[in-house]
C-alpha cells in the first residue's frame, strides 16, 4: 500500500477530492515522517505540528463540504527559513537574528499558498543568510543528505530539498541566488525550478538584489507547475514583479517536447570537468528528449566563466547583509561568511558596475543563443554530494562553493528560468541532476521538458535510505 508521504501534491488533491483520505490524515503522516527523519537529516529549524494539525483540520472540513479553498488546499508545505512565515521568527540561519517581535507578515509566495489552503508543517534549514551552496551553520547545524547522511544536502535550500526527499511534505518554498534550489535538489534527487526573476514576487527584497529568485522544490515537475499557478500571484510589495501570467503552468507542462530545439552542452565547451557517471546520466536524459521528438544537437553557449562578476555582486550583497552588525555580533557569524563579507566590503562602486556590465553582456549572449535554441541542457552539477560540513569537496582545490557549481550561477546573472530533474544515481547511489534552461519568461517550456522526462521515466530514481 502506498504511504501518504509518498504521494505528490497532485495525487493528494485528487485523493481529497475523491474522499480516499483527508488532509488531516496526510498531515499527520507527514509530521511523523518529519519527526522521524529530523535526527538523521536535520531538515527543519522548526516543525510546527500544532499549527499544521489545526490547518489540516480546517481543510478537512472544507473538503468534506465540497468547498476547497484553493488549488493546494490541505497539501503539506514547508518554507525555507529565509522567507517570512507569520506566527514565528524568520531566523535566516543566523544567531544574530533576534527572535523577539510580532512576526505577523507572510512573504508573497507564502501568502499565496495560505490563500489556497496549504498546510504549513515547518521551516526548513538554510546556511547563514543563504550565503553558500551547502546547508550548515552556527544556528541550525548540519543538514544531511537523505541518500547518505555522511554527505551534504547541498544548499542553500538544503533543508527544503531534504524535507521533500524524505516525504516530509511534497512541496517546499526555496530561494535561489546562485543555484540554491537547483544544487540541493540535484544532490537530494528531487525537482526544483528557479523561475524567471520577478515571476514569483519577493518581499522583503533580497540584499543580494536581482540575483535572488523564489522557486518551488517538489517531487516532480507536475507538482511544480501546480505550485507555480499559486505562488506567481501578484503582490504589491514587490516593485520588480512581472505582470500576470497568461494561462496555467499546469496546462503548459503537458505540451511535450516534440519540435523543441535543444542545445546539449555537456561541459560548457570543455570549461568544466564533469564526473563520468554524471555525464553519462545526463546524456541518457538528453537522449530521452530526442526520442520524444526534440531536435537535439551539441552546442555551447558563447561565454566564459563569469564567476568573478558573480563574486563581486554576491559578496557585496553579503557585506550589505551584515553591515548593521556590531563587532560582537560578527563574531557569531559563520567564519566563511565573515571572509566573503570582508571581501565584499572592499569592492568599489566601479567594481560593482563593471560586474553589472559583464552581467548585461552575458544576458545579451544568452538572448542571442535562445533565438536559435528553445532550451539549453547541461548537468546541474559536475559532481554528486560530497562530505557534509564543508563548503567544498576535500582535495578539490576550490576555495569557495562557486568552484563546484559552474552550471548554476550564470543563469542567476541572466535571470533565466532553470530547472533540475533527477536523472540517475552514481556508483555510490547518489542522485545526479540534469539542468534545463530556457529564455527569460519561458518558464513553461522548462516545465514542459521536465515533465516529459518524468513521463518517460527518466526522472524516476530509487527513494532515499532515510525516512
Helix (H) / strand (E) element for 404: namely none
Q: Count CB-CB contacts under 10 A for residue 81.
A: 29
Instruction: Give the ranges where 66-157 is alpha helix by DSSP (H).
Output: 108-115
In whole angstroms, what is the distance from residue 330 CA to residue 162 CA?
29
CB contact at 8 A, 408 and 154: no
128: which residues sit within 8 A by CB, 6+ positions away?
Answer: 92, 93, 94, 137, 138, 139, 333, 334, 337
In whole angstroms, what is the distance from residue 165 CA to residue 152 CA?
13
The strand ranges marked E within 100-179 are 119-124, 136-137, 141-142, 144-145, 148-152, 171-176
CB contact at 8 A, 46 and 122: yes
The answer to whether the bond into 220 is cis (omega within 30° of 0) is no
C-alpha cell at 146: 537523505
In whole angstroms, what is the distance from residue 381 CA to residue 188 CA?
12
- Residue 440 vs residues 174, 349, 444: alpha-carbon distances, Å: 20, 27, 11
Among this protein's residues, is 80 annotated catalytic? Answer: yes
CB contact at 8 A, 443 and 227: no
Catalytic residue among 59, 80, 132, 206: 80
SS3 call for 433: strand
Nearest to 168 by CA among 148, 190, 151, 136: 190
In whole angstroms, what is the distance from residue 136 CA to residue 386 CA?
13
In whole angstroms, what is the distance from residue 210 CA to residue 351 CA?
17
Q: Count CB-CB contacts under 10 A for residue 145.
A: 30
Q: Which residues are designated catalytic?
A: 80, 156, 180
Amino acid at each position: 500500500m502506498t504511504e501518504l508521504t509518498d504521494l505528490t501534491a497532485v495525487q493528494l488533491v485528487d485523493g481529497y477530492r475523491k474522499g480516499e483520505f483527508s488532509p488531516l490524515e496526510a498531515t499527520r503522516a507527514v509530521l511523523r515522517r518529519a519527526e522521524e527523519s529530523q535526527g538523521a537529516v536535520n531538515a527543519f529549524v522548526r516543525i510546527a505540528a500544532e499549527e499544521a494539525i489545526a490547518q489540516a483540520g480546517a481543510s478537512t472540513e472544507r473538503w468534506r463540504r465540497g468547498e476547497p479553498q484553493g488549488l493546494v488546499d490541505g497539501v503539506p508545505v514547508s518554507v525555507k527559513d529565509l522567507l517570512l512565515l507569520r506566527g514565528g521568527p524568520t531566523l535566516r540561519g543566523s544567531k544574530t537574528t533576534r527572535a523577539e517581535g510580532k512576526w505577523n507578515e507572510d512573504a508573497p509566495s507564502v501568502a499565496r499558498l495560505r490563500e489556497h489552503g496549504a498546510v504549513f508543517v515547518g521551516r526548513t534549514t538554510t546556511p547563514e543568510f543563504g550565503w553558500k551552496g551547502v546547508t550548515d551553520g552556527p544556528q541550525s547545524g548540519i543538514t544531511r543528505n537523505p541518500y547518505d547522511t555522511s554527505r551534504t544536502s547541498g544548499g542553500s535550500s538544503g533543508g527544503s530539498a531534504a524535507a521533500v526527499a524524505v516525504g516530509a511534505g511534497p512541496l517546499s518554498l526555496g530561494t535561489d541566488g546562485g543555484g540554491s534550489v537547483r544544487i540541493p535538489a540535484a544532490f537530494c534527487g528531487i525537482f526544483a525550478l528557479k523561475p524567471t526573476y520577478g515571476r514569483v514576487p519577493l518581499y522583503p527584497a533580497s540584499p543580494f538584489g536581482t540575483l535572488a529568485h523564489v522557486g518551488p522544490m517538489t517531487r516532480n515537475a507536475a507538482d511544480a507547475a501546480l505550485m507555480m499557478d499559486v505562488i506567481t500571484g501578484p503582490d504589491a510589495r514587490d516593485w520588480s514583479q512581472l505582470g500576470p501570467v497568461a494561462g496555467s503552468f499546469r496546462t503548459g507542462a503537458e505540451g511535450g517536447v516534440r519540435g523543441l530545439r535543444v542545445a546539449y552542452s555537456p561541459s560548457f565547451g570543455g570549461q568544466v570537468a564533469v564526473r563520468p557517471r554524471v555525464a553519462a546520466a545526463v546524456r541518457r536524459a538528453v537522449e530521452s528528449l530526442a526520442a520524444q521528438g526534440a531536435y537535439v544537437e551539441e552546442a555551447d553557449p558563447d561565454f566564459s566563466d563569469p564567476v568573478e562578476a558573480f563574486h563581486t555582486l554576491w559578496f557585496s550583497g553579503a557585506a550589505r547583509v551584515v553591515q548593521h552588525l556590531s563587532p560582537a555580533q560578527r563574531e557569531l557569524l559563520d567564519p566563511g561568511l565573515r571572509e566573503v563579507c570582508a571581501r565584499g566590503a572592499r569592492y568599489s562602486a566601479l567594481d560593482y558596475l563593471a560586474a553589472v556590465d559583464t552581467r548585461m553582456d552575458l544576458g545579451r549572449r544568452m538572448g542571442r543563443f535562445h533565438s536559435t535554441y528553445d532550451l539549453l541542457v547541461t548537468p546541474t552539477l559536475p559532481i554528486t554530494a560530497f562530505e557534509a560540513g564543508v563548503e567544498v569537496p576535500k582535495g578539490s582545490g576550490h576555495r569557495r562553493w562557486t568552484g563546484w557549481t559552474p552550471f548554476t550561477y550564470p543563469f542567476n546573472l541572466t535571470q533565466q528560468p532553470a530547472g533540475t530533474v533527477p536523472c540517475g544515481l552514481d556508483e555510490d547511489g547518489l542522485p545526479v541532476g540534469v539542468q534545463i534552461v530556457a529564455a527569460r519568461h519561458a518558464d513553461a517550456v522548462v516545465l514542459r521538458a521536465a515533465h516529459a522526462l518524468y513521463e518517460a521515466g527518466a526522472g524516476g530514481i530509487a527513494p532515499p535510505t532515510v525516512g
